[in-house]
Amino acid sequence: MTILYPALLLITLWVCFFVHYSSSLNWQMVSDVGVYGLVAAAVAFPVFHSEWGEFKFAGYIIAMASGIGLLGKMLIDAKRPDKSGNDSFPSNHTANAFAASTILAVSYGWIIGLLSYGLAMLVGLGRVKALKHHWRDVIVGLCVGLCTAIAAVALI
């Protein structure tokens, strides 16, 4: 029963993506909805199950991944492909999406992990297609999110 709610949410997000964006892909919206949905799922499901330790752990991992991404943006001056700023490297959307996906995979199993990692890959693809990031930004964001979550899981 624990796996049912995250699975339903992630399947619903997938269906919404395919129904809403199949005719006209707005990649910026895909990446925003994807990352916010994954982060919300990673912190909300422990609350629904009254698992406060898991809630705190998920918040800690996402805050760490986001902090590392923001630090990288401050230290590395990289122009975005659409020339909208100098904060392209690394992709914080991708870092947060993969950190949240790792939390969901560890907490709820491989089925949820498969769905959430697929959604996180869509977030990264959306950032490139929306001309907000280069591929290198997304790949480093993926590494930041995964490494942060895996290191936190290994330490606890």
pLDDT at residue 29 in the model: 84
pLDDT at residue 58 in the model: 93
Are residues 46 and 58 in contact, defined by beta-carbon separation less than 8 angstroms?
A: yes
pLDDT at residue 30 in the model: 84
Q: How many CB atoms lie within 10 A of CB 3?
A: 14
Cα separation, 131 vs 146, whole angstroms: 23
- Let me know if 33 is exposed, middle or buried by CB neighbors in 10 A (0-12, 13-18, 19+): buried
* DSSP assigned state of 82: T
Structure tokens at 59: 């918040």
Structure tokens at 72: 């990288």
pTM assigned to the model: 0.86
Structure tokens at 107: 């907490």
Cα separation, 35 vs 30, whole angstroms: 9
Are residues 107 and 54 in contact, defined by beta-carbon separation less than 8 angstroms?
A: yes
In tens digits, what is the pLDDT along the chain, a chain of 156 residues?
466 667 777 777 766 666 565 544 678 888 898 999 999 999 998 998 889 999 999 999 999 999 999 999 999 999 999 998 899 999 999 999 999 999 999 998 888 888 899 899 989 988 998 899 999 999 999 999 999 999 998 887
